[in-house]
Amino acid sequence: MTDLDTRTATAGPSALRRAAPALLGYAAVRALGLLALALWSAAREKSAYTLLTARWDALWYTRVAELGYGYEVRLPNGDVHSNLAFFPLLPWLERLGAALTPLSYADAGFAVSLLASLAAAWGIFAVADHVYGRREIGAERGLGRVVAGDGRAGVCAVLLWAVLPVGIVQSMAYSESLFTALAAWSLYAVLTGRWLTAGTLALLAGLTRPVGIAVVAAVWAAGIAAFARDRSGACAPEPSDPSGRDRSDPGPHGTRRTTRALGMLLAPLGTAGYVLWVGHRTGKGPLGYLDVQAGWRNGFDGGYAFARFVADKFTSFPSALAGVGLIVGVGLVVWLYVVCVRQRQPLPLLVYGGVVTALALCASSYFGSKPRLLLPAFPLLLPLALSLARLRTPRSAAVLAAVATASAVYGAFWLNGSGPP
């Protein structure tokens, strides 16, 4: 894998100006999706806002915000759906928003999602621009070759994330946008040598969703690799500044090691703290959270249940087409990850993207939710973003506009139908 980059990272207003095209494009795509949802819902005499804020998991989050933990539903088949399955950061923010503003808990959740989705888009841009921002991307254009220094790859990465078929979830009172924002900025902090920031954001990501362990794994993988380089004597500069100084702690090399170690120690505290608290709350010890998830029929079986689900589709001709589609979809996800490896993405991105993908595909959860669970795996989109950035602007804009329209229509149809439990 390539070493972490050593380019100076821009910050402040200049970074926002550089990201502005990506953020404006992202906002336009999300506005199109919301408009399509409003029109479709109105035609079916449904409330688009209710679909976004008071259905499925959004209800569970607002109940945690309002009533705290301890609420559960016992189903006729014996399953127990406990709200302990939902990590606390989003409900905490909903409660804070409701306390400081006239907003209801559901309104606050929607506001958090909208703001977090913009933060996630900016974080994805920052990561993609850091990795590809000064690479020649090979498209002939006029008198020379296009260089990604204009942020084209970063803009394309953000827009691809926005136009995903289940991108409407980014605007729901769900935790995907909040988690992706924390994950993206934690990865960016790792890539730029800000270890305390990376560890703190990983801690918060671990309080947002169970897949927070993917961010922890990325921070630890990068930290261990850096310590290994130190030990081997091939002491490459910390990734943040060409002079070798760590922006998070500009002290001597020993101090940088301490800062790195502190960041690594911070990273798992969110996930570990909540899981251990649930174990104590349920009286079932450190693995009590797994029992809570089992009540929802969630678990990690290496993909066995998903494979059976796909195989069952081939029992009749109409459903066999869906089975073929599922196989193609999984194959595309795996292929994209292989391309990420072949393109030598930085180690933290490969670890993060790999863990998110493995947890999404190999969990025994509700199968309709797997596309939603893959939403945070944005590093898989970077090879596609690089390919789009090679195209002339009118052609890439046309492709993205067509996909955005299809995504908006699908999102409206999906939320008015089976939805994203």
Q: Is a pLDDT exceeding 90 seen at residue 374?
A: yes
CA–CA gap between residue 118 and residue 128 (Å, rounded)? 15
CA distances, 45 to each of 127, 173, 286 (Å): 41, 21, 47
Strands 136-141 and 80-82: unpaired
Q: pLDDT tens, 192-234?
A: 999 999 999 999 999 999 999 999 999 999 999 999 988 886 5
The residue with greater pLDDT, 164 or 311, is: 164
- Mean pLDDT computed over 321-345: 91
Asked if pLDDT for residue 247 goes beyond 70, the answer is no
| Lowest-confidence segment of 10-19, 49-58, 99-108, 404-413 by average pLDDT | 10-19
Q: Write down the pLDDT at residue 316.
A: 78
Predicted confidence at residue 312, as pLDDT, reads: 78
Report the DSSP beta bridge partners of residue 363.
Answer: 300
Percent of the chain past pLDDT 70, that is, above it, reads 87
State phi, psi for 180 to the nearest 5 degrees. -65, -40
Read off the pLDDT of each residue in 362-391 and give the average, rounded to a whole number. 89
Winning range, highest mean pLDDT, from 17-21, 143-147, 205-209, 313-317 = 205-209
Tens of pLDDT, residue by residue over 126-137, are: 999 999 876 544
Q: Is residue 303's pLDDT more than 80?
A: no
Position with higher pLDDT, 112 vs 318: 112
For residues 10-30, average pLDDT: 86
Residue with tokens 């678990």: 299
Q: Is the pLDDT confidence value at 165 over 50?
A: yes
141: pLDDT confidence band, cut at 50, 70 and 90?
very low
Q: What is the distance between the alpha carbons of residues 361 and 356, in angstroms, rounded to a whole number?
A: 9
pLDDT of residue 113: 97
Q: How far is CA 338 from the centre of its chain?
A: 19
Q: Residue 246 — very low, low, confident or very high, per pLDDT cuts 50/70/90?
A: very low
CA distance 95 to 91: 6
Contact 292, 309 (CB under 8 A): no
Predicted confidence band of residue 12 (pLDDT cuts 50, 70, 90): low
Angstrom CA distances, 235 to 227, 229, 243, 249, stand at 9, 5, 13, 17
What is the C-alpha to C-alpha distance for residues 323 and 314, in angstroms, rounded to an integer? Answer: 6
Model confidence pLDDT, tens digit, residues 79-124: 889 999 999 999 999 999 999 999 999 999 999 999 999 999 999 9
Average pLDDT over residues 168-193: 97
The chain-wide mean pLDDT, for the chain, equals: 87
CA atoms within 13 A on the CB side of 197: 17
Mean pLDDT of 168-195: 97
What's the one-letter identity of residue 172?
A: M
Whether residue 3 has pLDDT greater than 90 = no
Q: How many angstroms separate the CA atoms of 310 and 319, rounded?
A: 10
Is a pLDDT exceeding 90 seen at residue 182?
yes
pLDDT for res 237: 46
Q: What is the mean predicted confidence (pLDDT) over 255-269?
A: 94
Give the pLDDT band of residue 368 (cuts 50, 70, 90).
Answer: confident
Task: Report the DSSP beta bridge partners of residue 140.
Answer: 145
Reported as half-sphere exposure (CB side, CA atoms, 13 A), residue 410 has a value of 13
Whether 236 shows a pLDDT value over 50: the answer reads no
% of the chain beyond a pLDDT of 90: 67
Which residue shows structure tokens 């998991």? 57
Per-residue tokens: 115: 């703001």
Residue owning tokens 């690089």? 386
